[in-house]
Amino acid sequence: MNHQLPSIASKRLRRTRALRAVAVVLLGVVVTASVLVGLTDPASASSCSGPISEGEIRVVLVVDSSDLGGSSSATCLVVPAGTNGLQLLARRGTELGTGSPRYGSSGLLCAIDNLPADKRVCGEQNSDGFSYWAYFFDNGGNWAYGSNNPFSKRLTDGAIEGWRFVVGGCGCGLDPSPRIGPSRSLFPALAPAPGLAPLPEPPSASVPIPQSSGGANLEQQVGAAETGSLPVTTAVEGVVVGEVALASSNSTESSAGRWVGIAVVFVLIGVMAGGAWVQTRRSR
Amino acid sequence: MTAPRLLHPGAWWLWAVALSACALRTTNPVLLCLIIAVSGWVVVSRRADVPWSRSFASFLRLGMIVIAVRVVFQIFFGVRIPGTTLFTIPEVTLPDWAAGVSIGGPVTLESLMAAFYQGLRLAAVLACFGAATSLCSPYRMLRALPTVLYEAGVAVTIAFTFAPQAIVASRQVREARRLRGRSDRGVRAWSASALPVLEGALDRAVALAASMDSRGYGRRGSSSVSVRRGSVGLVLLGLVAIAVGSYGLLDSSAPALFRIPALGLGAAALIGALVAGGKSTMRTRYRPDPWIGPEWMVSLAGVVALGSFVLVGRMGDALSPSTNPLEVPAVPFVAVVGLLIAALPAWLAPHPPTLASASSPLAVAA
Cβ within 8 Å, pair B109-A35: yes
Cβ within 8 Å, pair B102-A149: yes
Contacts of A92 (CB under 8 A, 6+ apart): A61, A63, A75, A77, A98
pLDDT tens digits, A220-234: 333 333 333 333 333
With a CB-CB cutoff of 8 Å, which residues 16-35 of chain B face chain A? 27, 29-31, 33-34
The pLDDT score that the predictor gives to residue A207 is 33
Q: Bigger pLDDT: A164 or A38? A: A164
Average of pLDDT values for A121-142? 82
DSSP secondary structure string for all residues of B279-326: HH-----SSPPP--HHHHHHHHHHHHHHHHHHHHHHH-STTS--BBTB
Q: How far apart are CA B259 and CA B242, in angstroms?
A: 9
Cβ of B175 under 8 Å from any chain A Cβ? yes
Contacts of B51 (CB under 8 A, 6+ apart): B164, B167, B168, B171
Helix (H, G, I), strand (E, B) or coil at B353: coil
The pLDDT score that the predictor gives to residue B124 is 96
Q: How far apart are CA B311 and CA B343, in angstroms?
A: 19
The pLDDT score that the predictor gives to residue A228 is 35
Identity of the residue in B43, B317, B326 whose CB atom sits nearest the CB atom of A119? B317
Range name among A26-35, A119-128, A192-201, B116-125 with the lowest pLDDT average: A192-201
The pLDDT score that the predictor gives to residue A251 is 44
The pLDDT score that the predictor gives to residue A182 is 84
pLDDT tens digits, B89-124: 887 776 666 666 677 778 888 889 989 999 999 999
Cβ of B361 under 8 Å from any chain A Cβ? no
The pLDDT score that the predictor gives to residue A225 is 36
Give ipTM to 2 decimals: 0.73
Nearest alpha carbon to residue B263 among B233, B289, B281, B243? B243
Pairing of strands A56-64, A160-169: parallel
DSSP secondary structure string for all residues of chain A: ---PPPHHHHHHHHHHHHHHHHHHHHHHHHHHHHHHHT---------SSS---TTEEEEEEEEE-GGGT--EEEEEEEEETT-BHHHHHHHHHHHHTS---EE-TTS-EEEBTTBS--TT-SSEEETTEEEEEEEEEEETTEEEE--S-GGG-B--TT-EEEEEEEEEE-SSTTSPPPSS---GGGS-SSSPPS--SSPPPPTTTTSPPPPHHHHHHHHHHHHHHHHS-----B-TTSSEEE-------S--S-HHHHHHHHHHHHHHHHHHHHHHHHHHHHH-
pTM for the full model? 0.71
Chosen for mutation from A114, A272, A280, A283 (greatest number of chain B CBs closer than 10 Å) is: A272
Contact A78, A51 (CB under 8 A): no
- Cβ-Cβ contacts under 8 Å, A105 against chain B: 27, 114, 117-118, 323
How many other C-beta atoms lie within 10 A of the C-beta of residue A221?
A: 17
Cβ within 8 Å, pair B328-A36: yes
Angle between helices B333-342 and B9-24 (to 10 degrees): 160
Q: How far apart are CA B49 and CA B364, in angstroms?
A: 8
Helix (H, G, I), strand (E, B) or coil at B103: strand
Cβ of B60 under 8 Å from any chain A Cβ? no
Contact B335, B31 (CB under 8 A): yes
Contact B111, B76 (CB under 8 A): no
The pLDDT score that the predictor gives to residue B23 is 93
With a CB-CB cutoff of 8 Å, which residues 106-125 of chain A face chain B? 106-107, 118-120, 125
Range name among A60-74, A178-192, B30-44 with the lowest pLDDT average: A178-192
Average of pLDDT values for A37-62? 67
How many other C-beta atoms lie within 10 A of the C-beta of residue B243?
A: 13
pLDDT at A263 exceeding the cut of 50: yes
Cβ within 8 Å, pair B326-A118: no
DSSP classification of residue B258: G
Residue A189, min C-alpha distance to chain B (Å):
31
Chosen for mutation from B45, B79, B93, B320 (greatest number of chain A CBs closer than 10 Å) is: B79
Q: How far apart are CA A95 and CA A46, in angstroms?
A: 9
DSSP classification of residue B328: P
With a CB-CB cutoff of 8 Å, which residues 41-100 of chain A face chain B? 86-87, 89-90, 99-100
Contact B125, B94 (CB under 8 A): no
Cβ of B328 under 8 Å from any chain A Cβ? yes
Beta bridge partners of B87: B107
Residue A203 preceded by cis peptide, ω within 30: no
Contacts of B291 (CB under 8 A, 6+ apart): B8, B10, B11
Cβ within 8 Å, pair A39-B84: yes
Mean pLDDT for all residues in chain A:
69
Q: Which CATH architecture has domain A56-242?
A: Beta Complex (2.170)
Q: How far apart are CA B321 and CA B327, in angstroms?
A: 7
What is the chain B residue with the closest CA to A113? Answer: B325
Identity of the residue in B34, B81, B96 whose CB atom sits nearest the CB atom of A103? B81
Cβ within 8 Å, pair A105-B33: no
The pLDDT score that the predictor gives to residue B152 is 65
How many other C-beta atoms lie within 10 A of the C-beta of residue B157?
A: 22
Chosen for mutation from A269, A278, A279 (greatest number of chain B CBs closer than 10 Å) is: A269
CB pairs under 8 A between A and B: 119
Residue B329 preceded by cis peptide, ω within 30: no
Q: How far apart are CA A133 and CA B229, in angstroms?
A: 52
Residue B71, min C-alpha distance to chain A (Å):
13
pLDDT tens digits, B318-346: 888 888 778 888 889 999 999 999 999 99
Contacts of B339 (CB under 8 A, 6+ apart): B22, B31, B34, B35, B38, B305, B308
Cβ within 8 Å, pair A152-B102: yes
Nearest alpha carbon to residue B170 among B187, B194, B189? B194
- Cβ-Cβ contacts under 8 Å, B85 against chain A: none
pLDDT at A38 exceeding the cut of 90: no
The pLDDT score that the predictor gives to residue A192 is 47
Cβ within 8 Å, pair A105-B84: no
Identity of the residue in B79, B99, B327 whose CB atom sits nearest the CB atom of A148? B99
What is the chain B residue with the closest CA to A204? Answer: B96
The pLDDT score that the predictor gives to residue A238 is 35
Contact B169, B196 (CB under 8 A): yes
The pLDDT score that the predictor gives to residue B222 is 65
The pLDDT score that the predictor gives to residue B98 is 64
The pLDDT score that the predictor gives to residue B296 is 92
Displacement of CA B80 from its chain's centroid (Å): 32
Q: Where are the domains of chain B?
A: 1-138+296-366, 145-220, 222-280
- Cβ-Cβ contacts under 8 Å, B323 against chain A: 103, 105
The pLDDT score that the predictor gives to residue B19 is 94
Q: Where are the domains of chain A?
A: 56-242, 253-284
Which parts of chain B register pLDDT below 70?
A: 1-2, 94-101, 142, 145-154, 156-157, 160, 216-223, 250-254, 277-285, 355-366
Cβ of B329 under 8 Å from any chain A Cβ? yes
Cβ of B254 under 8 Å from any chain A Cβ? no
Cβ within 8 Å, pair A148-B328: no
Contacts of B167 (CB under 8 A, 6+ apart): B51, B52, B54, B55, B58
- Cβ-Cβ contacts under 8 Å, A264 against chain B: 331
Contact B301, B12 (CB under 8 A): no
Q: Bigger pLDDT: B26 or A205? A: B26
Q: Bigger pLDDT: B287 or A44? A: B287
The pLDDT score that the predictor gives to residue B17 is 92
DSSP secondary structure string for all residues of B35-97: HHHHHHHHHHHH--SSGGGGHHHHHHHHHHHHHHHHHHHHHHHS----S-EEEEEEEEPPPGG
